[in-house]
Structure 1
Amino acid sequence: MLMFPKLPLDEWVESLVDVLEDNLSLVFDMISACINGIVNALAAVMHFPPALLLILAITVVAYYFGRWKFALFTAAGLLLIDNLGYWDNTLDTLALVMTSALISIIIGIPFGVWCAQSERIRNVCTPMLDFMQTMPAFVYLIPAVTFFGLGVVPGVIASVIFAVPPTIRLTNLGIRQVAEDLVEAADAFGSTGSQKLFKLQLPLAMPSIMAGVTQTIMLSLSMVVIASMIGAQGIGADVYRAVTQIKTGQGFEAGLAIVVLAIVMDRMSQYILKKRRRGSNV
């Protein structure tokens, strides 16, 4: 037996959702149209060339940034995906992940810079980021579907909420770890705030920022199966269909395609970061 009456927290949340839905429906429609446009544009661009030509292009990029072993794995993995019949769905998934990662980066890096420059903002954002990372990802689907309906848009929105914290955290951390004597030297030479940020702090914090971006991409990819539950297309839909129909083989194939895509994207971002470091040290 409770000593105090139960707080009507669920009713408060429902009321807030109703208010937002009634007053901001036009804003939600605009956001939905924008996200749909980005996803469809990326998917159209990637679907345009033949599969073998696109695989060859990605392999060349992998060889340029990485090594021949990575290029060989990329070619073999992507050819396997094509052979298994998941190439089109892989491109749809990649468009969703790229859109989620792009929005997360556009939001995350400025917020991370803001947190690094203001202790008060950091203290406000930290518990919010903790909440966003610890709340079960399925919960984000409920308001996303309420505001944006079924389809790819709520999947992108839920992915952004789930994936943006690492970019904010590591951007903030990277800027704060810039040596204090370098910041003091920039101040002594009369640098403005923007000059100090763009010419000193951001370049030195770039490894940490790129690590946050990589984590954001991987978290966005981890949401594809969950997003498929609300109508997002791609490999996640194949995995979800295999689970509901208890098709172990099909589920393994679709899961393997996600694993290959995740490894290629993760290694590619790491090699790009390493090449950037080598270039900056020359």
Structure 2
Amino acid sequence: MDSDIFPNIGKPIKNATNEFVDYLVINFGDGFEAFSNSLLFFLVKLERLLRSADPLIILLCVGLLTFAASRRLTLTAGMVGAMWFIGALGLWQQAMQTIAIMLVAVAISIIIGIPLGISAARSERFRALLSPVLDLMQTIPSFVYLIPAAMLFGLGKVPAILATVIYAAPPLIRLTDLGIRMVDGEVVEASRAFGATRWQILKGVQIPLAMPSIMQGINQTMMMALAMVVIASMIGARGVGETVLLGLQRNDSGQGLVGGIAIVILAILFDRITQSAGQRMQAYRNIGG
């Protein structure tokens, strides 16, 4: 009965998708491999740097970053203590792996997201085209694009980073777009009246005034990147997510809980630092206004 009511379009979509992926692998496999090797080179260097560094140096850097962002000694001490607690859980090396993957994914998201957000803010047509794409990126299950990513780049850290970027970049794009569009039009007109070019207005007026919103976007991107660590570990990304995955596979609730605690601590750490930086930028903006 169902076959008489519904046309069978699932099989053609599946076949077309498989043919497209095969076409990319056959014709552009060398390019994907070169890109993968380049990305992996930077990731491995960063991971080795973090894992080989003295934990005291990492704790000092966490303290300096927190204090620079918040100017609050209590928050600084709390974040250093939270980072120390990850080491006390026995997950220091795994945490460094996760931080390396997350930082690379967030950096790529920033490189892609901020220009796209600026373009969307300056063009209604581009925003209309981009909006459904962002909706799709945020709603489609991550396993759906993990499969072609793994086929194009193999198992490991690179497809995990790319899947994380797809999942985590949309908030940054949307909030950059919103921040640019929310800049007071009178300020922009005043700058234009003084002879500023579009680039000068963007660089000297719109981006600085939109920076609190952009920082909020970076914050959300970091949180969503951390939310991907367990899923990314399923294709060999390792890190703290692997600890949770092993706990699930071995029915070891304790191991899963320890890994989950470490992920929560990392999320709180990055959230507090970026939120504090955004609040300070907002305060300076209000004072300047």
Q: TM-score, normalised by structure 1?
A: 0.95
- Cα distance in 2, alignment partners of residues 242 and 216 from structure 1: 26
Q: How far did 1:115 drift?
A: 0.9
Q: How far did 1:22 drift?
A: 1.5
1:196 matched to 2:201? The reply is yes
Q: How far did 1:72 drift?
A: 2.2
Q: How far did 1:183 drift?
A: 1.9
Q: How many residues align?
A: 282
* CA displacement 1:201-260 (0-9 Å, x = unmatched): 111111111111110111111101000000111000110000000101111111101111
Give the corresponding residue for 2:7. Answer: 5
Give the corresponding residue for 1:58. Answer: 62
Structure 1: gaps (5+ residues): none
- Cα distance in 1, alignment partners of residues 207 and 61 from structure 2: 31
| More divergent stretch after superposition (242-251 vs 23-32) | 23-32
> In structure 2, which of residues 240, 252, 259 is the aligned counterpart of residue 235 of structure 1?
240
1:38 matched to 2:42? The reply is yes
- Cα distance in 2, alignment partners of residues 248 and 31 from structure 1: 38
Give the corresponding residue for 1:19. Answer: 23
Matched residue of 2:119: which SS? helix
* CA displacement 1:67-96 (0-9 Å, x = unmatched): 222122222212211112100000000000
Which amino acid in structure 1 is aligned with residue 229 of structure 2? V
Q: How far did 1:65 drift?
A: 2.8
1:209 matched to 2:209? The reply is no
Q: How far did 1:36 drift?
A: 0.7
Alignment of 1:99-248 (within 5 A): 99-248=104-253
| More divergent stretch after superposition (95-104 vs 29-38) | 29-38
Give the corresponding residue for 1:93. Answer: 98
- Cα distance in 1, alignment partners of residues 231 and 6 from structure 2: 37
- Cα distance in 2, alignment partners of residues 235 and 96 from structure 1: 11
CA-based RMSD of the aligned residues comes to: 1.5
> In structure 2, which of residues 84, 87, 91 is the aligned counterpart of residue 82 of structure 1?
87
Q: Aligned pair in 2 of structure 1 residues 277, 13: CA closer, same or farther (>3 Å)?
A: same
- Cα distance in 2, alignment partners of residues 221 and 74 from structure 1: 17
- Cα distance in 1, alignment partners of residues 89 and 142 from structure 2: 29
Q: Aligned pair in 2 of structure 1 residues 56, 196: CA closer, same or farther (>3 Å)?
A: closer
Which amino acid in structure 2 is aligned with residue 88 of structure 1? Q
| More divergent stretch after superposition (141-150 vs 15-24) | 15-24
Matched residue of 1:24: which SS? helix
Which amino acid in structure 1 is aligned with residue 109 of structure 2? S
- Cα distance in 2, alignment partners of residues 75 and 95 from structure 1: 18
- Cα distance in 1, alignment partners of residues 264 and 91 from structure 2: 13
* CA displacement 1:136-176 (0-9 Å, x = unmatched): 11212101101010101110010000011011111111111
Which amino acid in structure 2 is aligned with residue 56 of structure 1? L
- Cα distance in 2, alignment partners of residues 91 and 156 from structure 1: 15
- Cα distance in 2, alignment partners of residues 279 and 183 from structure 1: 19
Q: TM-score, normalised by structure 2?
A: 0.93
Which amino acid in structure 2 is aligned with residue 37 of structure 1? F
